[in-house]
Structure 1
């Protein structure tokens, strides 16, 4: 159970920690000051949502996400959310491509070098289908998590920051709901593609609690660090670079590589969700479908990384509140039906 559960934890976290999250831009967009309680609530909400999606996918033995949507919102609304997921995955993958361009641009190289750098391996990884994607996540995610946590803890110790918060100064607690709902659609899309590979219910329990706890911890210490450099964030398109500005160049280089890997894993997860939905309708190799999709995304990256996050993420967060409610209620409803 442990090995299988860790595989799903890495897949879930790989879906979550992309350009927006790893760079700090997404966290700052939703949280910021007075958000300790909000992040605690997010941890609980996220774990419940992951459990619901994993259980439905396991029970339905899914290979794509539409059956999961039908259970959650019914056949009538499933097609509406199906369209939303396709648009969401497409647009967020565009954001990942743009994020790669911004990361490479930080080293004084042209923006388009970063686009090419992510597009080529993104196409190549789909030659090995889903097994290849799971293997890449299992290799990259531990490096990413250790690196990100190490830098954040180092910054907290260096600045002598406190991790405690006052419960009476938590006016931003509602952000937990919009932040969780923002990340629901990619989770449904990606987990829905691997339901037939989940062997036991225990894997779902382990993966949901584990991924929620890890993301909650990282979100809390990351947001705490960003609050301390709020003025600098206005200058940096990628807030993580504001944290690293006084670190040696080698650390800046190391974290830039990790940031790019985070961007890559989320681009892979988003693309997996898209191709799993359309692969039954198109008789072509996965890599060829991905090639066509990615080529259509490239022109849209010109809108810019932070601009795309600023406008698209809050919009999706609001639109997904209904499906968030169904996921939170599903364990109770399911237990009532089976009792």
Structure 2
């Protein structure tokens, strides 16, 4: 049970920690100063939402997200949010491809080279269906989380920063709601695709609590570090590099690899949500569907990484607030059979 729960936990974390999150750009967009309470609220709501989504997915034994979405928002709004999820997964996967371009660009490679180099392994991953993504996440995410925590703790230690200096500054607490809401749709898409593979309810709690704790701790440490370099962030497409400039080139090289892995896992999760949604309409292997979806995405990567995050992420955060409210109220509403 624990082993299976940890497997799903890494799938959840892999869905969350993408180019926007691992680079620091997404955290800075929503949090920044006075956000300790916001990060705590995010972690708690995230755990609650993961439990609710996985529980519905498990009960429905779903192979894609549509039955789960219908249970959350009701049949009348399912069509609207179905299209929202499709557009969200499409645009955020485009952001991941653009993030790969920005990462390689930092090492003086052409932007297009950075975009293209992620595509081949992304398509090959789907040769093994859903198992390929779960297996890759189980291997690379412990390394990614450990690397990110190492850099953040080292930076906090070297700069003699107080871990709890900003705990009482909580005026930005409402940022927790759009930030959590932003990340709800990909969770529904990905966790809706694995309902028929969850064997026991205990797996749900291990995955949900474990992922919420990991993301809460990393978010707090990361945000605390970014506050100290607020003046430098404007100069960097990827805020993480503003932290890494204090360290040897080898450290930047290692963390750039970790960042690229984060980009890859989230691009894989987004593509998984899309191809499982359309598999029943297009009877082809997942890798062929993935190749078709990615081919359509390529022209959109020219907009750039930080521009896409700056405009799209806050918009999705606001639009998804209804889904977040529905999930938080789901245990009560389902008990009284309002839906």
- Say yes or no: TM over 0.5: yes
Contact preservation (8 Å) 1:73, 1:323: yes
1:26 positional shift? 0.1
1:136 maps onto 2:167 in alignment: no
Deviations 1:50-71 (CA, angstroms, capped at 9, x unpaired): 0000000000000000001111
What SS does the aligned partner of 2:74 have? helix
Instruction: Give the structure 1 partner of residue 54 of structure 2.
Output: 54
Matches within 5 A, 1:205-284: 205-284=205-284
Report the count of equivalent residues.
338
Offset at residue 118 of structure 1 (A): 0.4
Moved more, 229-238 or 327-336: 327-336
Q: Whole-Å Cα distance in 2 between the matches of residues 314 and 282 of structure 1?
A: 33
Q: Is the 8 A contact 1:101 1:112 kept in 2?
A: yes
Residue aligning to 2:110: 110
Determine helix, strand or coil for the equivalent of 1:211: helix
Q: Tell me how far apart the structure 2 counterparts of residues 165 and 207 of structure 1 sit (CA, whole Å).
A: 30
1:9 and 1:39 map into 2 onto residues whose CA distance is: 19
Match of 2:88 in 1: 88
1:10 aligns with 2:2: no
State the distance in 1 between where 2:210 and 2:245 align: 32
Contact (CA 8 Å) 2:123, 2:290: kept in 1 or not?
yes
Distance 1:182 1:165 in 2: 27
Match of 2:31 in 1: 31
- Contact residue 36 and residue 165 of structure 1 kept, 8 A: no
Alpha-carbon distance in 2 for matches of 1:43, 1:316: 19
Q: Tell me the CA shift for residue 156 of structure 1.
A: 0.4
How big is the shift at 1:332? 3.1
How far apart, in 1, do the equivalents of 2:115 and 2:169 lie?
42
Q: In structure 1, what is the Cα distance between the partners aligned to 2:268 and 2:72?
A: 25
Report the CA distance shift for 1:247/1:286 in structure 2 as closer, same or farther (over 3 A).
same
Say yes or no: does 1:127 pair with 2:116.
no
Paired position in structure 2 for 1:164: 164
- Once residues 14 and 135 of structure 1 are traced to their aligned partners in structure 2, the CA distance between those partners, rounded to angstroms, is 11
Distance 1:114 1:4, change over 3 A: same
Distance 1:87 1:152 in 2: 33
The secondary structure found in structure 1 opposite 2:32 is coil
For 1:174, what is the secondary structure of its paired residue? helix
Partners of 1:232 and 1:242 within 8 A in 2: yes
Q: Which residue of 2 aligns with 1:19?
A: 19
**1:195-210 maps to which residues of 2 (within 5 A)?**
195-210=195-210
1:174-205 deviation per Cα after TM superposition (whole angstroms, max 9, x unaligned): 00000000000000000000000011111111
Is the 8 Å Cα contact of residues 144 and 261 (structure 2) preserved in structure 1?
Answer: yes
Describe the superposition over 1:288-335 as per-residue Cα deviations: whole angstroms up to 9, x where unpaired. 111111111111001000000000000000000001001111123345
Q: Residue by residue, what CA displacement relative to the aligned partner does 1:25-74 show, whole Å, maximum 9, x if unpaired? A: 00000000000010010000100000000000000000000001111111
Contact 1:237 1:306 (8 Å CA) reproduced:
yes
Distance 1:336 1:87 in 2: 33
CA 1:94/1:44 → structure 2, altered by over 3 Å: closer, same or farther? Answer: same
The one-character-per-residue Cα deviations of 1:201-220 (angstroms, maximum 9, x if unpaired) are 11111111111010000000
Partner of 2:326: 326
Q: What is the distance in 1 between the residues matched to 2:137 and 2:176? A: 26
The two structures have a TM-score, normalised by structure 2, of 0.98
- The residue that corresponds to 1:173 in the other structure is 173
How far is 1:165 from its partner? 4.2
In structure 1, stretches of 5+ residues that fail to align are none
How far the C-alpha of 1:167 sits from its partner, in A, is 5.7
Given that 2:24 and 2:238 are in contact with CA atoms closer than 8 Å, whether structure 1 keeps it comes out as yes
Query: More displaced, 321-330 or 92-101?
Result: 321-330
